[in-house]
Structure 1
Amino acid sequence: MPDFDSLTVGDVVAERVTAISRDSLVRYAGASGDFNPIHYRDDIAKSVGLPGVIAHGMLTMGLAVQPVVDWAGDPSAVTDYQVRFTRPVVVDPAEGASVSITAKVGQLDAEAHVARIDLTVTFNGDTVLGKAQVRVTLPR
């Protein structure tokens, strides 16, 4: 687990590039029960104005927080997580999609021993999760 006292605002605590394939979408649909056809049929996705099949928002959100969970070393240390969905992640049938995640210390609360970790989550250079913030409570 990270040492709270060694953290400084602006520190990058995790970076990761995560691949999403159409197979990932099928597995996530099965696990979540979200079988909306915009997540597996290009024709339906395009009929509602999307550029193609898109990743589930909650899948993107879950993948984005994982590097912070790994850094914290304990999933229960994550006490709050919020995002705004700003753009879809379009998953190409052959190439899939690569989502880049950077986690930086945005704020430190010494009294509560809580680090706010700000996530930058991008796909094709565009931010896909806005105001993505994770609160991590670290031991004293």
Structure 2
Amino acid sequence: MAAPQTPEFASLAVGDVVAEQSFALTRDTLVRYAGASGDFNPIHYRDDVAKAVGLPGVLAHGMLTMGFAVQPVVDWAVDPGRVVDYQVRFTRPVVVDPELGAVVQVVAKVGQLDAEAAVARIDLTVKVGDETVLGKAQVRVELGDRGGR
């Protein structure tokens, strides 16, 4: 089986969907992420605390959501070092139901092409159900010759 190839800049057009993926989150996911990140804020695992501070329920960590959202682009680019910038705005919290969990859906489309630098701006649509949870989510990916890097 051949190794995956980095996409060719010349083959891209604005509007192309380069990746789509869904991620299922459960309360177990949140506990594991808390252990890995060291973020043990109880709004990420206790409904009573989340509701006491005015939240609708337990929320996924923002950085966890941000990490899931960029993963399809990292996979598409093949080499994570090609991701030269990544930014988002947190627009809505991801509420993780104790029984149903939550499903984060990501669609990655080419938003802009910089031919001189061979950099593609990939725009992410990140939703849970019909609600956008990350706004202005953009990833800049360098697709030119990296001179042996």
TM-score normalized by the length of structure 2: 0.93
1:79 corresponding residue in structure 2: 84
Distance 2:118 2:53 in 1: 45
- Match for 1:123: what amino acid? V
Structure 2 unpaired stretches of 5+: 1-5
Answering whether residue 111 of structure 2 is matched by residue 106 of structure 1, we say yes
Deviations 1:39-59 (A, max 9, x none): 000000011111100000000
1:110 Cα deviation after fit = 0.5
User: What is the CA distance between 1:32 and its match in structure 2?
Assistant: 0.5
Q: Which has the larger radius of gyration?
A: 2
Contact (CA 8 Å) 2:60, 2:93: kept in 1 or not?
A: yes
Indicate the SS of the match to 1:14: strand
SS in 1 for 2:28: helix
SS at 1:62 equivalent: helix
1:135 matched residue in structure 2: 140
Show the counterpart of 2:18. Answer: 13
Structure 1: tracts of 5 or more residues without a match: none
In 1, Cα distance between equivalents of 2:121 and 2:105: 19
Residues 1:57 and 2:62 aligned together? yes
Please give the secondary structure, in 2, of the residue aligned with 1:120.
strand
CA RMSD in angstroms comes to 0.6
Count of residue pairs brought into register by the alignment: 140
Give the C-alpha shift of residue 139 in structure 1.
2.6
Match of 1:126 in 2: 131
What residue number does 1:116 align with? Answer: 121
TM score, norm. by length of structure 1: 0.99
Letter in structure 1 aligned against 2:50: A
Deviations 1:29-83 (A, max 9, x none): 0010000000000000011111100000000000000000000001111010000
1-structure distance, mates of 2:138, 2:94: 19
Residue aligning to 1:37: 42
| Dislocated runs of 4+, deviation >2 Å | none
CA distance in 2: counterparts of 1:48 and 1:13, whole angstroms: 39
**Retained in 1: the 8 A contact 2:119–2:144?**
no
For 1:74 and 1:26, how far apart are their aligned partners in 2? 29
**Alpha-carbon distance in 2 for matches of 1:30, 1:139:** 38
